[in-house]
Amino acid sequence: MVGFIIRLVGYALAFGVTWRLSQMLWTQQGLDGVGRLQHFHNLETTTLLVAPIVLALLGFGPLRSLCVFVGFFLIGAALTAPFTIARIVGA
C-alpha cells in the first residue's frame, strides 16, 4: 500500500508539473484561440489526470519498467505537443 501511494504521488507530481508547463506553452503559442484544436487539448488534460492512477496501480513487479517508460513517454508527448501542433497549423 505504501508503494502505491508513493508511486501515485510521484506520478501525480510529474504529470501535474508537465500539465502546467504544457498549458503555459499552449497559451504562448496562441493555440488556446483555435477552436478546432480544443479537443486535442482536452484529451491531453484528461490523459494527464487519469494516467497517474493507472500507472500507480500497474507499476509494480514486472510492469514497473513499462509504467516508467509510459510515464516518460506521456511527459515528452505533452511537452512537445504545443510546438508540433503550432507548426502544423502555422500559428
Name the residue ranges covered by the structural domains of the chain. Answer: 2-89
More confident residue, 66 or 33: 66
Q: Output phi, psi for 60, to 5 deg.
A: -135, 160
What phi-psi label fits residue 61: left (phi over 0), alpha (psi between -120 and 50 degrees) or beta? Answer: left
Provide the mean pLDDT of the chain.
88
Mean pLDDT of 71-78: 93
More confident residue, 72 or 27: 72
Q: What is the spatial distance between Cα 74 and Cα 47, in angstroms, rounded to a whole number?
A: 9
Residues above pLDDT 70, as percent of the chain = 99
Place of cell 491531453: 44
Does 91 score more than 70 pLDDT? no
